Amino acid sequence: MTDASPISRRSALALGAVATTALVAPGLAQAITPAPARRPVRRGGVGPRLIVVGAGAFGGWTALALKRAGAQVTLLDAWGAGHSRASSGDETRVIRAMYNGNATYTEMVQRAFTLWTEAEARWQRPVLTTTGALYLFEGDDAFATQSMPIMRARGIAVEPMALAEARRRWPQIRFDGIRTAYWESGAGFLAARASCELVREEFVRAGGSWEIARVVPPTMRAGRLDAITLADGRRLDADAFVFACGPWMGELFPDAIGTGIASTRQEVVYFGTPAGDTRYDAANCPVWVHFGARRMYGIPGNERRGFKVADDTSGSLANPTTMDRIVRPETIATARALLARRFPGLVGAPVAESRVCQYEFSPIGDFLLDTHPTASNVWLAGGGSGHGFKMGPALGEQLARQVLEGTAPAPLFSYARFAEERAKLTGARRQHS
């Protein structure tokens, strides 16, 4: 659940500098020719034929938005919606509008809140649990102070919280050593893998075509892609294609993306709470983000899975297909140390479950939502960078508009910016403090 901070991203890449530079030829980013003009996808009176590859948060919501806008859409995924290896495949993801002073993301979250709520009503199934988010700072709180004016100007409730008040409200949390606290009452968490499947089901109900299939890296000709090839040799043609392949984006586009989207190992621990003790449930405990020597965060028990604790520090580079997903003892020790410091009632709590996931980091943590640099009918959607899940519905809506109407992406999400930042990373990668 990282923010889109350049420092965290570049530090992450520096961690894997040796491995990643071996995979990408220096200067490759610059060798790619500039993007052809974006054009709307039209097809006479009927909706255009589109293929979306990837049924995670990015691809699933984009396919659904395209389908609801009248396109003929096929959605493909190698393993299914929200599977264990997908970045969207964990139980829960935080949704919060506090975004380190970045108005573009705060506005996108605001739109996402509306769309998640509308989707819940259509699905007749709650996926958004509002707990509020408690931000705790042991030191510098610029993350909050820079965000507050942006949030307040958009009507999003956020306030500093006196520590005495915080202690009164959450006696199960220890606040010693916390300098400042902030409260975003509308924040909460989303059921992650479950909602990927709900999106896929709605897509199929709306008439979308769905298949489990692996797509091989595509070959573009004369500025376009005519068809994709599946692993079993079948070719599927379409007017346009969206690739939303999460941490696999570089594998599909070794030149245009390559290690520009890097996959880092992230480990999550779910602790079992004492029998009959509801202090750590969503009804009594908020989502919390703890800014100390490292940034840690947690989500209260959802669907009886336990009390989730995670370290937001970027892990080592990892292969999303082949890595083992067994949490290391040092991760559990770090999580236990945080519990001892902040949640003393959970000292000695057993590990009830764990997950190993991956952040799919773009060069500086921003999303990529733009056409392929050499194919005007290929859209690239990725770079969730540890904070993309919540944005799914807003991002899907935005990308569908780009595909169908030919609108340009926000500058933050353009391929030009991605390539520029990637070029700074290839060759000698820079270490940031």
Please report, as ranges, the residues that interact with ligand FAD according to CB under 6 A. 1, 53-59, 76-79, 83, 86-88, 90, 93-94, 214-215, 244-248, 252, 266, 268, 310, 357-359, 382, 384, 386-390
Contact 242, 370 (CB under 8 A): no
Looking at the Cβ atoms of 276 and 410, the one nearer to ligand FAD is: 410
Q: How far is the CB of 320 from ligand FAD (least distance, A)?
A: 7
Find the helix or strand (DSSP H, E) in which 109 lies.
helix 103-123
Q: How far is the CB of 400 from ligand FAD (least distance, A)?
A: 15
Distance CA 23, CA 378 (A): 24
Looking at the Cβ atoms of 163 and 204, the one nearer to ligand FAD is: 204
Q: How far is the CB of 268 from ligand FAD (least distance, A)?
A: 5
Distance CA 281, CA 132 (A): 13
Distance CA 19, CA 24 (A): 10
Question: Which are the contacts of 371, defined by CB distance < 8 A and separation ≥ 6?
Answer: 35, 36, 38, 377, 378, 379, 380, 415
Looking at the Cβ atoms of 373 and 388, the one nearer to ligand FAD is: 388
Looking at the Cβ atoms of 21 and 104, the one nearer to ligand FAD is: 104
Looking at the Cβ atoms of 358 and 376, the one nearer to ligand FAD is: 358
Looking at the Cβ atoms of 299 and 346, the one nearer to ligand FAD is: 299
- Give how far Cα 158 sits from Cα of 11, 102, 129, Å: 29, 15, 18
Q: How far is the CB of 1 from ligand FAD (least distance, A)?
A: 3
Q: How far is the CB of 214 from ligand FAD (least distance, A)?
A: 4
Looking at the Cβ atoms of 95 and 173, the one nearer to ligand FAD is: 95
Q: How far is the CB of 79 from ligand FAD (least distance, A)?
A: 5
For residue 108, the SS3 value is helix
Q: How far is the CB of 304 from ligand FAD (least distance, A)?
A: 20
Distance CA 5, CA 102 (A): 10
For residue 23, the SS3 value is helix
| Sign of the alpha-carbon dihedral angle for 357, 363, 365, 366 | negative
Q: How far is the CB of 168 from ligand FAD (least distance, A)?
A: 27
Contact 252, 243 (CB under 8 A): yes
CA Rg value for the chain: 21
Distance CA 188, CA 93 (A): 9
- Give how far Cα 285 sits from Cα of 129, 134, 135, 172, 332, Å: 12, 9, 13, 9, 21
Looking at the Cβ atoms of 271 and 359, the one nearer to ligand FAD is: 359
Distance CA 388, CA 394 (A): 10
Residue whose structure tokens are 């002073």 = 101
Looking at the Cβ atoms of 76 and 309, the one nearer to ligand FAD is: 76
Looking at the Cβ atoms of 41 and 245, the one nearer to ligand FAD is: 245
What are the strands of the beta sheet with 92-95, ordered from one edge? 92-95, 188-191, 128-130
Q: How far is the CB of 212 from ligand FAD (least distance, A)?
A: 8
- Give how far Cα 326 sits from Cα of 232, 270, 358, Å: 31, 13, 13
Contact 244, 59 (CB under 8 A): yes
Find the helix or strand (DSSP H, E) in which 194 lies.
helix 192-205
Looking at the Cβ atoms of 109 and 431, the one nearer to ligand FAD is: 109
CA 353 to chain centre: 21
Q: How far is the CB of 345 from ligand FAD (least distance, A)?
A: 24
Q: How far is the CB of 57 from ligand FAD (least distance, A)?
A: 4
**Residue closest to ligand FAD when measured from CB atoms:** 384
